[in-house]
Structure 1
Amino acid sequence: MTPVQGLQVTSLTTTAIKGLGVVPRHEVELTRTGVAGDRAFLMVDAEGNLLSMTRTGAWAGYTAHYTAESRVLTVTGPDGSEATGEVRLGDALEVDFFRHHAVPGRLVEGPWAELFSDRVGQPVRLVRPDADNGGVDLRPVTLLGDASVDELARRSGLDAVDARRFRMTLGFTGAEPHAEDTWEGRTVRVGGAELRVEGPVKRCGAVNRDPADGSGGMRALSLIKGYRGLGESTLGRGVLFGVYADVLTPGSIKVGDTLELDVAPALSH
């Protein structure tokens, strides 16, 4: 491994329920399937279709905390109100995940479905995927450089862009804008964990939603496309921003940890 001067973790975020607001974390435990407790639940509509931030930002101001040992899930509203209880599993349900793969799980009984349904104005059901971190998109971890977010702001004529709208696992500083795009296939050691960088993240309309209240005032997708164009990803051609990573070695990561990259492969002639 070769340490890169100044390359270090500046932010870590998770959400126990996909579609709710992300929570800043100082330290996380990274398993092979993702951060412990991250995207442990997801929501579906009456037909069983995935409800993500793209479809509704109604829950952006809500956060969730899940303790696997006690099976207690707590959802906190923007006014400080809480809906908490022990997770009890009901009928089996298979969720279609962006037409890319199916996620088997079970419906969750308790106060949360009613809370979410009332908030969005339509029937909503909470699902616990059978697999840990079953609500992650394609890979367990996502990475995005602070310089990339700053570059988006600069190119868009904005003072700043709130990085929370991209809902990434790990933010870092010390690299050029979009340097992470060049890391595909490389190994990154951070804290006690080791990652392998995979392909780019194809962005959806979720990035247009304000991370504080879910409103859609900023057209981030169009702004990114305006200077980056379109590119290829696992999910097809689209607007790319940030990268995925697999977990090679589980371990803890905290804000301030240094990122170390392996030596880039030599170019063939």
Structure 2
Amino acid sequence: MHHTWMRYFTPGPVHHRLGLVCLGVGLQHGALPAVGPRTLGHHVAVVIGAGAGWCRTSDGRTHPVTAPALLWLVPGVPHHYGAGPGRGWDEAFVGFTGPAVAAYTELGCIEPDRPVVPLTDATGPRAAVARIARAARRGNPLLEIETSAGVHELLVALRRARADADDDPVLQALARDAFLPLSVAQHAARHGMTPAELRSAVRRGAGCGPKDYLLGIRLGRAKELLAATELPVAAVARRVGYDDPAYFSRLFTRRVGTAPVRFRARQSAAGPSRSA
């Protein structure tokens, strides 16, 4: 015996401009029938919260699935999966598409090459799916907006719940040392790695290269210092790892879109009182 609840949606063109749109959501449990073989034209995240089963990929291999786990179903790729014999499993699924898929894939939140992804805990992803399901009530005038927001939330929750997403020691060390005036090669040497190895590790953990990872941390701190203190721009630059204030100002302007002094002036209009 099994139990199934599902809803499907057809978002309009304006909703697609939100970046992601939800095409369907479902909650199922029990001895569910196998799915496929089939091929879809959109992404589906299938969260297995309890139980076990299998997933057969397009190369003919069969992968065991043990909860908590995620099945990534990607457009144009055949898939075939099902719960194991006996009591079956507990699954929740969300179908989605949109232009933001490319960015989430580049950032490592969507992994088309990993059809089965172990999770540390399905609680966060299941809560995100439940919010999408609640928004899916018939007659909800905000259905497409709420379910779109829910897909964004689900992708973040899945990334956090991924079994290999525990605190990454390399990322932690880079964050700790972000304000030291070190090159990528020097950071790599401190970890006994080559620059290429460091780039691979950071991209795997953060979805970007070490330069962008460090720059995001540095500029975030620089903004805090500019908004909350009276420190000169040169002093702010030194505190976040740049000995050349002119270079820091050019970098800040290029990435933020405004010069440090202008950023400070805008923040000071309604910001809190500053202290050194």
- Please state which band the TM-score falls in when normalised by the shorter chain: under 0.3
* Bigger Rg over Cα: 2
- Structure 1 or 2: more helix by fraction: 2
- Structure 1 or 2: more strand by fraction: 1
TM-score for the superposition, normalised by structure 2: 0.25
